[in-house]
Chains A and B, each alone.
Chain A
Amino acid sequence: MKSDTQSDPRPAPAKSGKWVLPGLGLLQGLAVTGRNLIESFYKKERMTTIQYPEQRAPISPNYRNIPFLCYDDNPEAGLRCTACKICEKSCPPQCIYIVMDRDEHGKVRNRPKVFDIDSSVCMGCGLCAEVCPFDSIYMDGEFELATDDRFDSLQLHLDDLSKSAEYHLQLRPKQATEVLERRKADAEKKAAKAAAKAKADAEKKAKAEAEKKAAAEAESEPEAATEKNENEAPEAKKAEAPQQELKAEQPKEEGGGE
């Protein structure tokens, strides 16, 4: 038998001089499958099937499918979404539809009245979660989205989409913890700022009152100036706040992404 196997990548069937019985490979194959068959009855590690509806494999934290809206404590008041519509604009297949909530005077209430995601259109790209400046929209791990009709049930509404911060924490612990800590820090900062502002306002007020008193004492100046001062202060604060939030959060969002 020739045994020059230098340039042949195939494994040598036998060492030189050794005779191979025809059909030996077939019997070896039978032995392999026979072992598979028998060991499948008592070796647990061989049978890796997960009986799906009853048993479930844990989904990876990196798995993302469809967006959900995060809320703190209360789905009504605690909803983080402010209906800013950034996600709606950034959605490539345009599956998000948002209507702002307005009070009876037509004033914006900083929360969505309608927030719909068409699950048949959503492609799970996660751009909405990427751009959201209010830590509101995140990608969900839900994958059983099948419905029994192809119109209304595929349209996910606000009730279907809003899920608690605890759910987020469970789904993606790392990301959710980061977000919660940041939000806490921001809230503290904000509170401190508000307190400082309140203090300043109080001082201003006291000052104004003192001036008023002085004016009253003088009985010559009109009261308009002080009123103007009082009204101006909260409005300015309101206008300032979102801008600051935006500035503070955007760089962090980039770093905190998945």
Chain B
Amino acid sequence: MTFLIAQTEEPSLWSPEWLPLLPKRLVENLLEHFNAPEWLISLGGTGAGAATVLAVFMTGFALLSLIERKTLARVQNRIGPNRAGWFGILQPVADGIKMLTKEDIVPAKAEKLLHLLAPILIVVPAILALGVLPYGKEWIPVPMELGLLFFFAVGSLTELAVFMAGWASGSKFPMLGAMRAISQMVSYELPLVLSAIAVIMVSGTLSLPDIVSQQGGFHLGFLPAWNILTPWGLVGGLVFFIASIAEANRCPFDLPEGESEIVAGHMTEYSGFKYALFFMGEYLGLFAISGLGVTLFLGGWQAPLPGLDFVPSWIWFFGKLAVIIFFFLWIRATWPRLRMDQLMRFGWLGLIPLSLLTIPAAGIWSLLQRSQHGLLAWLVTVPLLLVPFVIMTVLFNKRLARSNRTYRFAES
């Protein structure tokens, strides 16, 4: 198949749209030149493509670890790392060297094999999940029919790795952190998947490239036809965004590694390169889940305005990804951590009902859109989705209305 593509493709090797595929095509052309068997060409091409994705996101990970520190510093009116290289650009390198040269400590009571496997297992699903995302019109590392299903199936492996780490460390803080992580991730995977189901219902496919291409085009000539700009998409997108923060274990849902409470959660007993692997897995998972959010709700690689198609599509994807990740950073710099019961209540009583509501809304929407009742679709779905918001507002204001404090044990 790759052989066929190499023969029929017309764009030059260096066209910007195909630039991310350059390593893959170079390897394929090279192998072809030496009359390698077809399976070898296919293998080499896939390997080069995977290496490209990995290289891009490893660089992204290194950069993000620096940008995150810089952004947090700026929010707190500090300067942030600026000693290693120009504007601290070499800080990730320094961190990497430090991590690699540190002693690798395995606790005496640890389950040695599981303790070793956990950090590896946390990186693997993140990388696998990154493989199915469509980064550009042409840049789809693994064009899979069931990409979305694969993403969620692989993504839930993270929980296993986290619990492995917590259990195998043979210590109380990792155990507590892992228990928190499991309960949180399982609870928040529900709204994550439920809000994705709305997208699946409307687009009628599990293939991520197809979901993106269905979001192409513009309403009224300038409004992109992204899912986020529909009533169910807005609610679903918000739910997805919040749930993905929890899935990525980031502030304000960073209870599993709440450093002020349980040291570092499941990572407590890890040091050196294994700790770095946990870090890497977390950031790659963050990239993957925000990449999926961009794909499902923000139109993937589609340009935000008509007439901007001359920019390579993968630049749009990464631009949107950067915006989403900036929001992650901004939120981390702002909001305090939730308590466990607040987290659970918010997930089960807030997000899951809301995401359940997006499913009928999406159903009505696709039904009415298909039968050319566009306006009616808006009129039905918007009130439907406003119902929980109204209920929430009433409840919220009732709770805010305070009575005098009564003290049971102290004199008032």
Residues of A within 8 A of B397 (CB): 1, 14, 19-20
Give the segment of B126-134, B255-263, B398-406 that binds chain A: B398-406
What is the 8 Å Cβ interface bit string for chain B, positions 220-260, against chain A (1 contact, 0 not)? 00000000000000000000000000000000000000000
A33 contacts B401, C-beta separation under 8 Å: no
Q: A3, A30, A36: which contacts B74 (Cβ < 8 A)?
A: A36
Q: What distance in Å separates the Cβ of A102 from its nearest Cβ neighbour in chain B? A: 53
Interface size class of A (residues with CB under 8 A): 20 to 34
Contact residue among A7, A26, A33 (Cβ-Cβ distance under 8 Å from B333): A33
Cβ-defined contact, B74 with A1, below 8 A: no
Contact partner of A14 (CB less than 8 A), chosen from B331, B392, B400, is B400
Q: Which residues of B contact A4 (CB under 8 A)?
A: 403-404
Bound Cα distance from A1 to B333, whole angstroms: 33
Complex contact A2–B74 (CB within 8 A): no
- A37–B75 CB distance below 8 A: yes
A47 to B82 CA separation, bound complex (whole angstroms)? 14
Q: Please give the distance in Å from B262's CB to the nearest CB on chain A.
A: 25
| Chain A 1-36 interface mask (CB, 8 Å, partner B; 1/0) | 111111110100110000111100010011011101
Interface residues as binary, B38-74 with A (CB distance below 8 Å gives 1, 0 otherwise): 0000000000000000000000000000000001001
- Whether B76 lies near A36 (C-beta < 8 A) is yes
B394 (CB) vs chain A CBs: closest residue = A19
Q: Is A40 engaged at the interface, CB distance under 8 Å to the other chain?
A: yes
Q: Which residues of A contact B335 (CB under 8 A)?
A: 26, 29
Whole-angstrom distance between the alpha carbons of A41 and B77 in the complex? 9
Interface residue B2 (Cβ < 8 Å from any Cβ of A)? no
Q: Are the C-beta atoms of B405 and A48 separated by less than 8 Å?
A: no
Q: Is the interface of A mostly helix, strand, loop or mixed?
A: loop
- B77 touching A48, Cβ below 8 Å: yes
Structural contact, A49 and B412, CB atoms closer than 8 A: no
Known: A7-B412, A21-B393. A33 touches B400 (CB 8 A): no
Please determine whether B401 and A1 come into contact, CB atoms closer than 8 angstroms.
yes
Residue of B nearest to A46 (CB): B77
Q: Is B14 an interface residue (CB 8 A)?
A: no
Q: In the complex, what's the smallest C-beta–C-beta distance from A151 to chain B, in angstroms?
A: 29
Q: Is the CB of B396 within 8 A of A20?
A: yes
What is the bound-complex CA distance between A22 and B71, given in angstroms? 27
Q: Kindly state the separation between the CA atoms of A51 and B78 in the bound complex, as whole angstroms.
A: 11
**Cβ–Cβ contact B412 & A33, under 8 A:** no
Q: Which residues of B contact A8 (CB under 8 A)?
A: 402, 404-405
Q: What's the Cα separation between A30 and B405 when bound, in Å?
A: 30
**Closest 8 A/B residue pairs (Cβ):** A22-B396, A1-B401, A33-B334, A40-B74, A2-B401, A46-B77, A37-B75, A13-B400
Return 7 A-B CB contacts under 8 Å, by A number. A6-B404, A14-B397, A22-B396, A29-B335, A32-B334, A40-B75, A40-B77
Could you list which residues of chain B lie within 8 angstroms of chain A, going by C-beta atoms?
A: 71, 74-79, 330-331, 333-335, 392-393, 396-397, 400-405, 412
